[in-house]
Copies of this chain bind each other. A is one copy, B any other.
């Protein structure tokens, strides 16, 4: 019953898994944005700011593949697609906030902007 039977390799792999899921340039922006409510494609596009459509689509697809966000298509004209956080997506805001809080505590200038 050794509770600490965790190898360095497992920790590395686990940590890198998160990094690979949220490490791309705009993932955090999209995740935090959706944390404040469901959004349409164009809303995300304009609220994030300088992102290109191609990159936004790539980011959304990647987050969707990883199960962090859900994509809902409405059969309308003109098209309407809504993105929202899944429960898994919500849960990952925990580690994300841990990162923010670390900078707030240890790198006050970085958070200032």
- Taking Cβ atoms with an 8 Å cutoff, the residues of A that contact B are 8-19, 22-23, 28-29, 32-33, 36, 88, 91-92, 94-104, 106-107, 110-111, 113
How many copies of this chain sit in the oligomeric assembly? 2
- Is B14 a contact partner of A19 (Cβ separation < 8 A)? no
- Is B17 a contact partner of A110 (Cβ separation < 8 A)? yes
- Is A92 a contact partner of B102 (Cβ separation < 8 A)? yes
- Is B103 a contact partner of A17 (Cβ separation < 8 A)? yes
- Is A104 a contact partner of B14 (Cβ separation < 8 A)? yes
Residues from chain B with a CB closer than 8 A to the CB of A19 are 19, 22-23, 28, 99
- Is B14 a contact partner of A99 (Cβ separation < 8 A)? yes
Nearest 9 CB-CB pairs, A to B?
Answer: A14-B103, A18-B99, A14-B100, A98-B98, A95-B98, A17-B110, A15-B99, A14-B111, A95-B99
